[in-house]
Amino acid sequence: MFDIALSALGQVMSGGHLAFLVLGVCVGLIVGILPGLGGIAGMSILLPFLYGMDPVSALGMLIGMVAVIPTGDTFTSVMMGIPGSSASQATVLDGFPMAKRGEAARALSAAFTSSLLGGIIGALVLSFAIVMARPLVLSFSSAELFMLTIFGLSMVAVLSGRSLTKGIAAAGIGLVIGSIGTAPATGEARMTFGIDYLYDGVPLVVVAMGLFAIPEVIDLLKRGTAISETTGLGGGWGKGMRDVLRHPWLVARCASLGCVIGALPGLGGAVVDWIAYSHVVQTSRDKSQFGKGDVRGVIAPESANNACQGGALIPTLLFGVPGSGSMAVFLGGMVLLGIQPGVTMVETRLDLTYTIIWSLALANVVGAGLCVMLARPVARLTQVPFVYLAPFMVMIAMFAAFQASRSMADLVALIVMGAVGIYMRRFGWPRPALLIGFVLAPGAENYLYQAVQFYDWGWITRPGVIIIALITVVSVFLGLRFGAEISSEGESDSADQQTRGRQVAFAGLLLLVAAYCVFEAAQLSFLGMVFPLIIGILALIASLAVVLRIRSGRAAEIHDDDASLTLAGESSGRERYLAIFAGLVALIWLIGFIPAMVVFFPAFLIIAGKARPLTAAMMTAGAVGFISLITWAMTLRLPEGLLGLTLF
Amino acid sequence: MKLLNKSGMRSMFLGAAAILAMPISLSAQDFSGETIEWTIPFGVGGGTDVWARFFAPQLSDALPGKPTVVVLNVPGGGSISGANQFAMRASDDGLSILGTSASTQYPALLGDPRVRYDFADWTAVLASPTGGVVYVDPKYGVTGPQDIDKLRGEEIRFASQGATALEMPVLLGFKMLGLNIKPVFGMESRGAGRLAFERGEAGIDFQTSSAFISSVQPLVDGGKAVPLFTLGVVDADGNVARDPSFPDMPTFVEFYEQATGAKPEGEAFEAWKALMLAGFSLQKMVVLPKDAPAEVIAAYGDAAKAIVEAPDFRQRAGDELGDYEQLVGPDADAALKEALTLDPGIQQFLTNWLSEDYNVRM
């Protein structure tokens, strides 16, 4: 076995193969940096090369791409406060405040170093696990997977900030939004209002972008400065690396968490970062800086999300069942190369298996190396006046949202979720809680039904279920006992007691959503009804509690960072900017994406940014050129526009 | 509006130019410099996607003028969203094609209200059949049709994607055999269903031919699974033949006959054959709008023929496509027209069955 591993390493390291691996890494980094794009876009670039390649090079290239997506996405999370992909959602919580504080380079290099270590640990685990993981993966049935979704939901206790009630209500609303679409057990349509788009549910990219990207862009515009509040870049990359080396056990623990969660098909990479993040919060003595720019909050999710890829390869290779979204892409690539994954492959083609493992480790090294080199120059972007960056970010967000299902409705949903995100931020509702609920809703429902149908109610007594339940209880206990002080929503305003009416109104709106969920659930068949009914009632009770607590002036629930301005009868500009973005969506719908950007860019730069026409023209050309190039190179699509369709 | 269609104009000009330039080959269709967009209403990495990505570069090579062929994944609604979008937007100049699968065909057959497409508007130029195998857990002590009573005596769970998914004829087959099968719906893929079987949650399972060969055969060899029957290959006249990938295994019809002592017949069997024809005999199809010019359709037919008849095609296709005969050109289209016309009585039978047994309303 050892000699095969070494000869596989020799093959991977030889010139030609290495070149393809690096090519894959470069594509993976670009795909990771651009939010909303995943393995699909990467695959469409690499595919033309795949034909006629020898399997070692081709596998190296594919693995190279897939492995570094969670490395590249850190740039977007730290620099813009937008999750570059679902695996880096939690990195935003501390990475972005660090960038605001002028420590972007430190945050980035800490992230890349932990990505590197996490990735290598993942490859290591994979190389041992591949020979004996079969019983482990087989021991996770739908019942254990359901308990894991509950464990994931219990993270809300840690991520709720000051008010657990608000956290539960937000998670409940997330679950409600996540159960829009077709009921998994019966195929009945739920809360779709007869809109075709909603039959498949709202895409994750759209929800994550709406909740995080739109409010961040608007918040920065409102402040009217650069992202970074200080002028220096701070300690730079050496400091970030030292940060990671100071916490070796944290990296090891989070990487192990990442491997295990990645190895379970079905749960996916979308929660692994939250679990790692909660883990670091729970186990740290000084929690006061989490959510405000604690470097450990960057190290934890970043070590976990790269290790997750190694874990995800276990079921992919052993069973031919993809462990995550990007592994589905990798699986497709393998089949195209004429390699059938499965036990047979692992046992008889050990050389290929080791090729994959070595490529994974190497890709992590190459990817992290490239990123560390780029970290400092890219971090300078945080010092550009934000008003110049805003149109780029809006363009990227809309571009990414549209790739979710290539429907104009994606952009409408983006604006709606953006509005929700803005007010959640303003009134101090933890957005991560909503996102976790949303991500876990389909899994929770599906696995619960499957568990009940496979085992009746006996599933509760399965040893695995009991173990995970105990871990969940301990985790919730720790989360509550040490009262998380993390605030993902910034500081409140001193006048917040006086705008209680508005705060109640927003909470009431969420209450109505929960009530509607209950109302609609009541009309479905039994199996279609149970889940939305339970979560609807949960969200209803929690949001009702929030309403009552705000009315009675409880400090933990009162939050309004716009209170003083509102009392003075002024607007902070949030609604205005949201209206501008909504207008942009309408324009895209009317005349198509590129023409709309050609109108929007100069208008925004000149009016809001006071840019000179020539500068505005050059920036417009650059942005439109960039997006066209990406669209062409990755064979993506852009909205065409009603007018264009009619004329031609 | 159709007359003003930009690409239509372009192909008119191109056609005119071609006529002026090459008066000899009047009907020659040339795609040089064009990009053909192949809509796949599924995500990346799934069966239909891999199938399309196998054919795409070959199609690019075989079509006159060697156009670029790009695969456009539009997942959602179990393929309905992507197919709807294609029906709404596809241009009829041969630059838009669609790849369909059983889960595109069945809802159209059953009149699912979400379906906005009509196979009658499309012409098929290539159809890839597949087969499948049903196998059980050895714990039931069943080895063949003679043990049918043992099988009937147990409540057996079956992990399925959904009542109207690929497994539909399999579920109907179970019903015809009088088995007490309890399907657990909501599996993400057939692969996830197989995992449930391997974990011992499901007692019976079904995989398509390629998946059976690569992933279930090792289980059979290790004594962890017992194959019962293949679905067989159904032709347009309703004849059921043995599956060329598994010539030694009985078909569902043979199994039924030996188990019950009579040939299957009646509405249920007619419905079963119709489902087999639409979902397995033509499991995956390349279609384009039927309004496309005749020479465009002919060019596709010729290209498909050239690909399938290439000497090394069988070898390159490997287990993924199996030993099934690919239908090309007019043959594919004739088979499509045959498969997608359902007797109203049979459709009624199917919708009643789905609603009674699984509470699915169409």
**Tens of pLDDT along A482-493?**
665 666 777 788
Q: Locate the DSSP E strands across A194-320.
A: none
Confidence of residue B22 (pLDDT cuts 50, 70, 90): very low
- Average pLDDT across each block of 10 residues of chain A; the chain has 648 residues. List them in order: 78 84 92 78 77 84 90 87 80 90 90 93 89 80 89 85 90 95 77 84 89 89 80 72 93 93 76 89 84 91 92 87 80 82 80 89 93 84 86 90 86 96 93 91 88 88 92 84 68 84 94 95 86 95 95 88 84 89 95 94 92 93 92 82 64
Closest chain B residue to A318, measured at CA: B215
C-alpha distances out from residue A298 to A241, A244, A285, Å? 12, 10, 17
- The residue type found at A396 is I
Q: DSSP letter at B287?
A: E
Cross-chain Cβ contact B84/A405 below 8 Å: no
As a whole number of angstroms, the distance between CA A529 and CA A518 comes to 9
Q: What DSSP string describes A471-524?
A: HHHHHHHHHHHTT----TT----TTGGGGHHHHHHHHHHHHHHHHHHHHHHTTS
B165 CA to centre of own chain: 11
Nearest to A465, CA basis, from A457, A304, B156? A457
Residue A592 within any structural domain of the chain: no
Cross-chain Cβ contact B186/A320 below 8 Å: no
Cross-chain Cβ contact A450/B184 below 8 Å: yes
Q: Locate the DSSP E strands across A213-310.
A: none
- A454 near B CB under 8 A: yes
The nearest CA of chain B is from the CA of A209 a distance in Å of 20
Can B9-129+282-344 and B132-278 be said to share one CATH topology? yes
**pLDDT for B249 beyond 90:** yes
Q: Which of residues 195-214 of A touch B (CB under 8 A)?
A: 196, 199-200
| ipTM higher than the 0.90 cut | no
Region of residue A222 (left: phi > 0; alpha: psi -120 to 50; beta: else): alpha
Query: Cβ–Cβ contacts within 10 Å for residue A472, how many?
Result: 19
Query: Cβ–Cβ contacts within 10 Å for residue A87, how many?
Result: 34
The total of structural domains in chain A comes to 1
Instruction: Sort out which chain A residues have CB atoms less than 8 A from B191's CB and list them.
Output: 319-321
As a whole number of angstroms, the distance between CA B232 and CA B219 comes to 21
Cross-chain Cβ contact B74/A405 below 8 Å: yes
**pLDDT for B12 beyond 60:** no
pLDDT of residue A400: 87
Q: Using H for helix, E for strand and C for coil, what is the string for A74-127?
A: HHHHHHHCCCCCHHHCCHHHHHHHHHHCCCHHHHHHHHHHHHHHHHHHHHHHHH
The CATH classification number of B9-129+282-344 equals 3.40.190.150
Residue A578 within any structural domain of the chain: no
As a whole number of angstroms, the distance between CA B181 and CA A315 comes to 28
- B19 near A CB under 8 A: no
Region of residue A641 (left: phi > 0; alpha: psi -120 to 50; beta: else): left
C-alpha distances out from residue B347 to B169, B230, B234, B350, B354, Å? 13, 24, 19, 5, 11
**Tens of pLDDT along B268-326?**
999 999 999 999 998 999 999 999 999 999 999 999 999 999 988 887 777 677 788 89
Buried b (16+ CB within 10 A) or exposed e, A49-66: bbeebebbbbbbbbbbbb
As a whole number of angstroms, the distance between CA A192 and CA B118 comes to 24
Residue A637 within any structural domain of the chain: no
Q: Which of residues 142-181 of B touch A (CB under 8 A)?
A: 157, 159, 162-164
Domain holding A352, by residue range, is 2-226+236-551
As a whole number of angstroms, the distance between CA A599 and CA A588 comes to 10
Residue A393 within any structural domain of the chain: yes
**pLDDT for B18 beyond 60:** no
Contact of A186 with A528, CB cutoff 8 Å: yes
Closest chain B residue to A341, measured at CA: B214
Residue A615 within any structural domain of the chain: no
Which of A51, A266, A406 lies closest to B57 in CB terms? A51
The CATH classification number of B132-278 equals 3.40.190.10
Cross-chain Cβ contact A185/B182 below 8 Å: no
Residue A493 within any structural domain of the chain: yes
**pLDDT for B24 beyond 50:** no
As a whole number of angstroms, the distance between CA A21 and CA A59 comes to 8
Q: Which of residues 269-288 of B touch A (CB under 8 A)?
A: none
Give first-to-last CA distance, chain A, whole Å: 62
Please state the length of chain B.
362
- B315 near A CB under 8 A: no
In the sheet that holds B132-136, the strands lie side by side as: B180-184, B155-159, B204-208, B132-136, B226-230
Cross-chain Cβ contact B218/A342 below 8 Å: yes
Domain ranges across chain B: 9-129+282-344, 132-278
Q: What DSSP string describes A389-442?
A: HHHHHHHHHHHHHHHHHS-HHHHHHHHHHHHHHHHHHHTT--HHHHHHHHHHHH
